[in-house]
Amino acid sequence: MAASTLTEVARLAGVSPATASRVLNGSARTPGPDIAERVRKAADSLGYIPNAQAQGLAKSSSGLIGLIVHDIADPYFAAIARGVQAAARHQNKMVLLATTAGSPADERAAVAAFAARRADSIVIAGSRSARTADRQGNADLAAELDRYCRNGGMVGVVGHAVVGAESDEGYHVVEVPNEELAAELARELAASHAGEFVIIAGPEGLLTSDDRVRGFQRGLAEAGLPPAEVLHTGFDRTGGYEAGLGLAARIGEHGGHGGAGSGTAGQPRLCIFAVNDVMAIGAAAALRSRGLRIPRDAAIAGFDDIETLRDFRPALSTVRLPLEEIGRLAVPGADSGLHEAAAVTVTGEVTLRRSTEPAGEPASWP
């Protein structure tokens, strides 16, 4: 069945199409209550569905927020999305979602699609990249976002400012002190670990990963320890698993299954820092697949405190971030308390659990 039109509604209500549009599309210029009621009844009887684009033009607002994440299946992004949804609900808006696998080119395409649908604001969550391979994609993304902001849009970014943006007009950034928190984690781990440290990191040039690597190395230096070896891999569970297999082979070469306080035959345990929790989960799974146990044979810590960790055993040491709050704060607009060119910094908390407890000691952390 063909959808009814605004003209048909106007004819049934006995008014002009312009008057019907003002009633149904939310214009500030509204006719008297009797006429408005007649138009609404006519629309109901015909099953008329208002045109969202026409409503956006009438209200100067589409009621839409665009959200761009790397992977909605990743619990980190899922938690941020919940926060964005909560803020959108508070503003009586709906969320449009795009997943891009971290590709600046795909992010640019998503921005263009959201702009074409007159989204009131756009939120981008996911590490920015300074990799040479992403240079052109970054430039195209920045140009698309700058154009969107010049046309009155607002952009919230989680973590780092958009690489290559011409100005901060229309933008705000929710900053996370990744380097400082990673340094604090390193200092706390250094106090109870005499063995070597290894960092499982994302690709070089991924700014969030680089910040956490740099901070962890600084924390080790402040504790008087040599720098950790850095293994670069995919910034996901698969990357963590692949790195974990290599580390499992290394532990196995030294004998494995050491006594109390050691992870190999008489040698101090390896302490692994994965720059996000899903990488830590992947690395731990790789160690288990080779018959190694945490924390007996190796200690491991992550970063983010994703919800998945509630069911992970042994409980994983990590840095707890307020992920849903980050999502809420990233949504521009009066309801979030943030406006264009604004910035806010959130912080986190080092949370030590069983996965980094000294081997051979009874569990004292959750």
Distance CA 208, CA 232 (A): 13
Q: Which has the closest alpha carbon to 274: 311, 249, 310, 238? A: 238
Distance CA 189, CA 268 (A): 14
- pLDDT of the residue at 117: 87
Our CA angle for 294, 298, 304, nearest 5°, is 75
Q: Which tens digit of pLDDT belongs to each residue from 199-222?
A: 999 999 999 999 999 999 999 999
Q: Which residue has the higher pLDDT, 112 or 267?
A: 112
- pLDDT of the residue at 359: 67
Confidence of residue 291 (pLDDT cuts 50, 70, 90): very high
Contacts 24+ apart (CB under 8 A), 253-262: 256/291, 256/292, 256/297, 257/292, 257/296, 257/297, 258/296, 258/297, 258/359, 259/360, 260/359, 260/360, 260/361, 261/358, 261/359, 261/360, 262/195, 262/359
Q: Return the amino acid letter for 81.
A: A
Torsion sign across C-alpha atoms 268, 312, 277, 179:
negative
- Residue 12 pLDDT exceeds 90: no
- Asked whether the beta carbons of 50 and 24 are under 8 A apart, the reply is yes
Q: How far is CA 4 from CA 39, 121, 268, in A?
A: 14, 31, 75
- Report the percent of the chain where pLDDT is more than 70: 85
7 class by beta-carbon count within 10 Å (0-12 exposed, 13-18 middle, 19+ buried): exposed
Q: Which has the closest alpha carbon to 357: 307, 315, 302? A: 315
Backbone angles phi, psi at 274, to 5 degrees: -95, 135
pTM: 0.80
Q: Which residues contact 73 (CB under 8 A, 6 or more apart)?
A: none
Confidence of residue 355 (pLDDT cuts 50, 70, 90): very high
Residue 196, SS3 per DSSP: coil
Pairing of strands 349-351, 318-320: antiparallel
Tokens of 174: 């929710």
- pLDDT of the residue at 340: 47
Q: Which residues contact 138 (CB under 8 A, 6 or more apart)?
A: 104, 128, 129, 163, 164
Taking the chain, what is the end-to-end CA distance rounded to the nearest angstrom? 60
Cβ neighbours around 163 below 10 Å, total: 17
Q: Which residue has the higher pLDDT, 83 or 116?
A: 83
Query: CA torsion, points 130, 132, 137, 138, in degrees to nearest 10?
Result: 30
Query: What rounded mean pLDDT belongs to the chain?
Result: 87
- Residue 1 pLDDT exceeds 60: no
- pLDDT of the residue at 51: 59
